[in-house]
Structure 1
Amino acid sequence: MSPILSREKNIKDNTLKLEEELKNKFEEERKKNAEVYKKNGFEVFGNVKYKKVDIITNEFCPNGIDAVWLWVNGSDPIFYKALEENGKRGGDGRYRDYNTLQYSIRSVYNFAPYIKNYYIVTMGQIPDFLNTSSLTFRDYKLRIVDHKEIFPNNKDLPVFNSNALEVSIHNIKNLSSCFLYLNDDMLLGKKLDIRHFFNDYGLLNIYYNGWSAPEEEQAKKNSWHRSVSFSNKLVNDKFHNGEVVKHPYVSHHCYFFKTDTLKEMESVWPYQFAKTRTHKFREANDLAIPFLHGAFTAETGKGIYIPERNYYYGSFTSDRINNLKVYKDIQKSHPQCICLNDGFSGNDNIFKSETEKLNEFLNQYYSDPSPFEKNAFDLS
């Protein structure tokens, strides 16, 4: 056998082996979970599991915790046309939809049942999987929030810049005092205890990774790093008389925000908030809200930085073996938070094939639907 054929056979064999291991593991867990549901008093409505769980309130989150997602379907012709009309041609991974939102919502419903209100912020788009005629179930509600609702000046719209949206999400009507904020590629990997967010003294846990701003070399290459450096300078001007003090980058995972803190930040930097909203695409002087919220919370004595723990960041790529290893790592470690970043660079056919495999994995990992999905209550 030629070296090329031998290599192809090894790749195929490894792929089949990994797929079989995942399938067997999921089947074992499915059987265990079925017994757990029976023992713990869940009600079952079609495919939806429900158990009465009270909202969590305390002095820091007096009216509970909500969940907010930003979502866009970049393959929508109307969106694509708007993108081109505003000077952006060609595809972009950050606008690509590979149906992870459906499973992100499932993860919150099943792993954080004390969160009752769900908000999806979109440019007038509605995800295909939603049953729009039934977005309320028992004490759970989901609402689609148009960009127009959260932008003080609709003349700034449309925007295609997540930074511009993040400086505006605290304007969601009736948003709780605290909320879990996720991109559509972020998911909970297991039950989320409220103590993940707060320590015993009531301070917010601000999870960070290895970088600290300003990352000067990174900022030379990347506008996102420049926006973090820009935000760090604002913090230092406010709290350190302009002295260069490094602040950690917060983990790119499931963010926990306080609405009042975001409003206070806007009162401190009103010009920068307003300016970021006018940027249709990312710019170096955008505010980096996750970073800024963390630094502001720490500087005002309301939170402390701690190293991230049990978080998983993986890239979804055109390489089947890479993707299977990512899925296996998640299945093995059951991380608290998962981010499946879009690192795809292949053609449309490969993307379609790998997206199907990704959704197959996610549908096994998050097998219990949320009550907002089409056919969620249909046993046929």
Structure 2
Amino acid sequence: MNNKIDFVVLWVDGGDPEWIKEKNNYAPQGSITPEVEAARFRDWDNMKYWFRGIEKFTPWVNKIHFVTYGHLPQFLNTENEKLNIVNHRDIIDNNYLPTFNSAAIEVNISKIDGLTDKFVYFNDDTFIISPMKERDFFVNGVPCAEGLEEALTSIGDGAAYSHHILNDIDVINKYFDKRKQYKKNFTKYFNFKYGTQNIRNLSLLIWKNYTGFKNAHLPTAYLKDTWEIVWSKEEERLSNTTSHKFRSYYDLNQYVFRQWQIASGNFHPQLTPGKVIEATDSNLEKITNEIIKQKHKMLCINDNQDILDFENIKSAINKAFDKILPEKSSFEK
């Protein structure tokens, strides 16, 4: 296996007039659902800090695959040798395009030409803010992950995401016997690195099937072989996901591959070194402190459609990023 590690990130310019026109043309008429609302696609104008963090804190990365509808950030230096621009049409059949469904794009990223055997998948709202090593993602050739279960719940927002996770675990329970896997990989499911979180698996042992896996909602390490295995077994469901223009209750998403790695025992037990925080009008100071103090290696800043003063929050967060990452990267013109 090649020891090189690539990063993959999806990006969309929610302000692109051509993209907006196509999105509106395909969007369901009559109501604004969580799957088509503008907040899901709006740009925080901070992608340059994503690249600065990568270059400063993970200089060992082999290549960055930047997956996009076709538009690009104005700052981006497309001549950078570490950068590979991936258009949706490079990995998705034209019959399914255009797509505004992140799940549809995610499940196809293993088809990126030249993608290394080991890669890390990022959302564009997750930033590396302090130094990281290859071992934060892979140890002895296998991806790092928490082998921790959780009880699946929805949050009452009507969004499709909770259904995706349930669909993912449905696939896992189709192919894996939980109790056999626990016996086979006991020290991966119960590990001192998890600390008190071991109680998760202990308390869920009563359930015969997997109830779900803890999702850190942070960058995920993957083996490309895993994607090939799952595609070979669940091509119909993955193709159906790809066919949906917007997120659907019936989709799978990228986490089915993560869960497969965990259920199969093909992972190194390790807590994900990062934090997730939701952007709201009331916790701006908390977010900026998280950035400036750099206590975590990775930080995910989740958008929230209920933000009232988006421009002010965006400006303050980007100023905080500029304090820790003031120098232009080679990915900028």
TM-score (norm 2): 0.82
Instruction: Identify which of 353, 358, 363 aligns with 2:312.
Output: 353
Instruction: Identify which of 285, 291, 302 aligns with 2:250.
Output: 285
Contact 2:138 2:221 in 1 (8 A): no
| 2:89 aligned with 1:157 | no
**What's the offset of the Cα at 1:81?**
0.7
For 1:180, the equivalent position in structure 2 comes to 120
- Give the Cα separation in 2 of the matches to 1:260 and 1:317: 39
**What's the offset of the Cα at 1:146?**
0.6
| 2:262 aligned with 1:298 | yes
| 2:319 aligned with 1:326 | no
**What's the offset of the Cα at 1:351?**
2.0
**What's the offset of the Cα at 1:353?**
2.6
| 2:68 aligned with 1:122 | yes
For 2:175, the equivalent position in structure 1 comes to 238
- Give the Cα separation in 1 of the matches to 2:155 and 2:277: 20
| 2:13 aligned with 1:73 | yes
**What's the offset of the Cα at 1:195?**
1.5
Q: Which amino acid is the alignment partner of residue 224 of structure 1?
A: Y
**What's the offset of the Cα at 1:373?**
0.6
SS of the residue corresponding to residue 244 of structure 2 reads coil
**What's the offset of the Cα at 1:332?**
2.5
- Give the Cα separation in 2 of the matches to 1:304 and 1:93: 35
Deviations 1:304-345, CA, capped at 9 Å, x for gaps: 55444x4111122334xx212211133224311110111253
Shift of the 270–129 alpha-carbon distance from structure 1 to 2, 3 Å rule, reads: same
**What's the offset of the Cα at 1:298?**
2.1
- Give the Cα separation in 2 of the matches to 1:279 and 1:221: 17
SS of the residue corresponding to residue 302 of structure 1 reads coil
For 2:189, the equivalent position in structure 1 comes to none
**What's the offset of the Cα at 1:300?**
2.3
Q: Which amino acid is the alignment partner of residue 330 of structure 1?
A: I
For 1:53, the equivalent position in structure 2 comes to none
Alpha carbon RMSD of aligned pairs, Å? 2.4
Shift of the 277–331 alpha-carbon distance from structure 1 to 2, 3 Å rule, reads: same
For 1:169, the equivalent position in structure 2 comes to 109
Shift of the 96–207 alpha-carbon distance from structure 1 to 2, 3 Å rule, reads: farther
Deviations 1:89-127, CA, capped at 9 Å, x for gaps: 674212010123211111111111111311111101111
| 2:89 aligned with 1:148 | yes
Q: Which amino acid is the alignment partner of residue 128 of structure 2?
A: L
Q: How does 1:1-380 map to 2 (within 5 A)?
A: 59=1, 62-88=2-28, 91-132=37-78, 135-136=79-80, 140-151=81-92, 153-199=93-139, 202-207=141-146, 212-213=150-151, 215-216=152-153, 218=155, 221-240=158-177, 244-290=209-255, 292-308=256-272, 310-319=273-282, 322-347=283-308, 350-374=309-333
Q: Which amino acid is the alignment partner of residue 143 of structure 2?
A: L
Work out the percentage of aligned pairs sharing the same amino acid.
Answer: 28
Deviations 1:333-370, CA, capped at 9 Å, x for gaps: 431111011125345xx322322222211111212322
**What's the offset of the Cα at 1:64?**
0.5
- Give the Cα separation in 2 of the matches to 1:259 and 1:330: 32
Contact 1:206 1:250 in 2 (8 A): no
- Give the Cα separation in 2 of the matches to 1:219 and 1:358: 28
Shift of the 327–129 alpha-carbon distance from structure 1 to 2, 3 Å rule, reads: same
**What's the offset of the Cα at 1:212?**
2.0
- Give the Cα separation in 2 of the matches to 1:119 and 1:71: 11
**What's the offset of the Cα at 1:269?**
0.8
Contact 1:315 1:323 in 2 (8 A): no
Shift of the 186–216 alpha-carbon distance from structure 1 to 2, 3 Å rule, reads: closer
Q: Which amino acid is the alignment partner of residue 101 of structure 2?
A: N
**What's the offset of the Cα at 1:191?**
1.0
SS of the residue corresponding to residue 214 of structure 2 reads strand
- Give the Cα separation in 2 of the matches to 1:305 and 1:237: 23
Q: Say how many residue pairs are matched.
A: 299
- Give the Cα separation in 2 of the matches to 1:219 and 1:351: 23
Task: Give the greater-gyration-radius structure (CA).
Answer: 1
SS of the residue corresponding to residue 145 of structure 2 reads strand
- Give the Cα separation in 2 of the matches to 1:219 and 1:293: 25
For 1:34, the equivalent position in structure 2 comes to none
Unaligned runs of 5+ in 2: 179-207
SS of the residue corresponding to residue 338 of structure 1 reads strand
Deviations 1:156-194, CA, capped at 9 Å, x for gaps: 111111100011101111111111211111111211111
Q: Which amino acid is the alignment partner of residue 190 of structure 1?
A: S
For 1:8, the equivalent position in structure 2 comes to none
- Give the Cα separation in 1 of the matches to 2:279 and 2:50: 15
Q: Which amino acid is the alignment partner of residue 89 of structure 2?
A: K
Unaligned runs of 5+ in 1: 1-58, 375-380
Shift of the 92–220 alpha-carbon distance from structure 1 to 2, 3 Å rule, reads: closer
Contact 1:164 1:277 in 2 (8 A): yes
Flag the structure with higher strand content.
Answer: 1
